[in-house]
Amino acid sequence: MKQKIVLATGNKGKVREMSDVLADFGFEVVAQTDLDIESPEETGLTFVENALLKARYAAKVSGLPAIADDSGLVVEALNGAPGLYSARYAGIDGETADAENRRKLLRDLADVPAGKRQAKFVSCIVMLRHETDPSPIIAEGECLGEIIFAEKGENGFGYDSLFFTPEKGCTFAELETVEKKKISHRARALAVLKSKLGA
Ligand SMILES: O=c1[nH]c(=O)c2ncn([C@@H]3O[C@H](COP(=O)(O)OP(=O)(O)OP(=O)(O)O)[C@@H](O)[C@H]3O)c2[nH]1
Ligand SMILES: [Mg+2]
């Protein structure tokens, strides 16, 4: 029988990008929203701390193993911002904040010329077998790119329409989900998780 696991995120984009991959690893994936589990406050100071606390909270409430992703966009010219605070960069939280966050990013980079707009997406995935699991599995992935001057593309979420990937010659939002799932920071973290699980 497949091991049930809670996907501890309130972000539908992450559910889209992680569910079937985790199912391929042999898990029966249940999104936390389907169990009416709310997102805890993200009080950590690093991606790993936040991923841990999200997974731990879902494991505690559900009594099941849990997996969480904490991720963000790190922009060199902004000394690493929005970084840990990518989801709430413009001061509001949740997916409705995405458009405001993109506008703020473009404003903050207005004076930064092409060639100096390097950025990376970071994903930290944590898996806990139970709430008090003393040795969580931690898997990280990064993806390098640059921030363009105006949005391009309709797919994806967050900052995808501003993130140009040289590897593909377009923004993440111009990629089909299936393509983004091959090269993104989250895809890379999931590949590390897979090898750590021996799946
Ligand atoms: O364009 C993007 N493509 C991506 O692939 C991506 N991955 C992360 N991000 C940004 O970073 C925040 C993470 O913050 P975050 O890890 O706290 O997630 P979240 O609050 O959205 O959901 P949850 O998992 O915490 O419930 C997100 O909201 C986005 O703004 C991305 N943007
Ligand atoms: Mg969050």
> What's the CA gap between 23 and 4, in Å, rounded?
10
Residues with CB under 5 A from ligand 2 (ion): 87
* Residue 32 Cβ < 6 Å to ligand 1: no
CATH number at residue 23: 3.90.950.10
Ligand 1 centroid – CA 72 distance (Å): 6
| Paired tokens of 29 | 């994936």
The answer to whether 163 and 171 have CB atoms below 8 angstroms apart is: yes
- Which of 67, 73, 75, 155 has most ligand 1 atoms within 8 Å of CB, for mutation? 73
Of 48, 47, 67, 45, nearest in space to 57 by CA: 67
Please give the share of the chain, as a percent, with pLDDT higher than 90.
96
Residue 91: phi and psi, rounded to 5, are 100, -10
Q: What angle do CA 190, 123, 157 make, to 5 degrees?
A: 100
End-to-end CA gap in the chain: 15
Ligand 2 centroid – CA 110 distance (Å): 26
pLDDT of residue 47: 98
| 25 has pLDDT over 90 | yes
Please give the share of the chain, as a percent, with pLDDT higher than 70.
99
Helix (H, G, I), strand (E, B) or coil at 65: coil
Respond yes or no: is residue 111 known to be catalytic.
no
* Residue 27 Cβ < 6 Å to ligand 1: no
> Model's pTM, two decimal places?
0.96
pLDDT of residue 95: 64
Ligand 1 centroid – CA 2 distance (Å): 28
The answer to whether 180 and 171 have CB atoms below 8 angstroms apart is: no
72 marked as binding residue: no
Of 152, 139, 142, nearest in space to 194 by CA: 139
| Paired tokens of 38 | 């709310």
Amino acid type, 34: D
pLDDT 10s digits, 48-105: 999 999 999 999 999 999 999 999 999 999 999 999 999 999 998 766 799 999 999 9
pLDDT of residue 77: 98
pLDDT of residue 190: 98
pLDDT of residue 1: 83
* Residue 82 Cβ < 6 Å to ligand 1: no
| 4 has pLDDT over 70 | yes
Of 71, 74, 149, nearest in space to 118 by CA: 74
pLDDT of residue 94: 67
- Segment 118-145 shows an average pLDDT of 98
The answer to whether 21 and 45 have CB atoms below 8 angstroms apart is: no
* Residue 164 Cβ < 6 Å to ligand 1: no
Range(s) of the domain holding residue 143: 3-197
pLDDT of residue 68: 98
pLDDT 10s digits, 95-116: 679 999 999 999 999 999 999 9
Strand 170-171 with 137-147, pairing? unpaired
pLDDT of residue 96: 78
pLDDT of residue 93: 77
| 38 has pLDDT over 90 | yes
Q: How many domains does the chain have?
A: 1
Write the DSSP symbol of residue 9: -
State the ipTM, two decimals.
0.98
